[in-house]
Amino acid sequence: MLQRSAMNVLSAVLLAVTLFSLSPTLWAQGNDDNRLVITGSSTVAPLMSEIAKRFERQHPGTRVDVQTGGSSRGIADARSGRADIGMASRAKKSSEFELLFHTVALDGIAIIVNKNNPLNTLTDEQIRLVFTGDIGNWKVLGGSDRAITVVNKAEGRSTLELFLQYMKLKNSEVAASIIIGDNQQGIKTVAGNEHAIGYVSIGAAEFEAGYGTPIKLLPMGGVAASVDSVKNRRFPLARPLNLVTKQDPVGLVKKFIAFAQSDSVHDLITDNYFVAIPAQTVAENGLGGGQAK
């Protein structure tokens, strides 16, 4: 009996020692002024990691840790202060009035068909019906009498997410003939199949079409699908990629946001198939940009 109570005491002591050694004082971070934590959207995270690495190189001694987990988490962490900056791949909602959104880049997608397709425009509703499989032949839309090849993206791609959200579709409702992984694959598929329709990042599509790949970018809601119309926020099938802060940014946070919005990261933005915004446009729209429609 005595032995057992002695063991209980011992295990309690062990537990206390373990908890103590884990306590914040022993593991406290060195200099918090030179450290930034950014969390949020998994769409923005790969781009932001690259921007962060370049920022660290230009500002020796600083550390920028980028974490992922989704836009909602970015918003929540920015709100609670767990992160210095949040990332959100969407516009500001009215319930987020107290937060500041800083647009870094835009994400737009273009509906593409083969260049030899006689159709030059489709309404949103027509596109929706094609992707659900309710319209299965180009003839119904005024084209040739051929079955439509629907090219859909693999689960998890940000373009898929944006497309479904805009078309008010669920992925299970899409009757896909081919499922593709990345933009290049989608462009190749549509370029090689006269009866295919698909959607890819607007930057990649415009780049390829400009280099003579036989694809055609369909206008959406009467607005031509181009990087320019995404830039001046007229293209409907687009969304802003934002950094989110709780207060007016100061110090390192301010420096980092300014860097992420500067022209010196545009190559990184383009490399991730997003649309970069020229610095003066950011200034015009104000730092709290991203309040779309």
Q: 35-54 mask for other proteins (x: CB under 8 A)? A: --x----xx-xxx-xx--x-
Under rule CB under 8 A, residue 82 binds other proteins: yes
Residue 159: CA count within 13 A, CB half-sphere? 24
Q: How far is the CB of 53 from other proteins (least distance, A)?
A: 8
Q: Cβ 252 to other proteins, closest distance in Å? A: 17
65 binds other proteins (CB under 8 A): yes
Chain-centroid distance of CA 260 in Å reads 15
- Complex with other proteins: residue 160 or 287, whichever CB lies closer: 160
DSSP state of 139: G
Distance in Å, CB of 170 to other proteins, minimum:
18
Q: Please give the span between the terminal C-alpha atoms of the chain, in angstroms, as a whole number.
A: 73
Question: Which residues in 211-240 contact other proteins (CB under 8 A)?
Answer: none
Q: What is the token pair recorded at 265?
A: 């990261």
Residue 183 as a binder of other proteins (CB under 8 A): the answer is: yes
d(CA 106, CA 128): 23
Closest CA to 107 of 91, 94, 123, 93: 91
* Number of shown-chain residues binding other proteins (CB under 8 A): 33
Check binding of 23 to other proteins (CB under 8 A): yes
Each as own residue / partner, the long-range contacts of residues 222-226 (CB below 8 Å, 24 or more positions apart, any chain) are 225/108, 225/110, 225/111, 226/202
| Contacts of other proteins in 100-159 (CB under 8 A) | 155-158
Report the candidate in 125, 144, 131 with the shortest Cα–Cα distance to residue 194: 144
Comparing CB distances to other proteins, the nearer of 108 and 289 is 108
Q: Where does this chain bind other proteins (CB under 8 A)?
A: 19, 22-24, 27, 29, 37, 42-43, 45-47, 49-50, 53, 65-69, 82, 155-158, 181-184, 201, 271-273
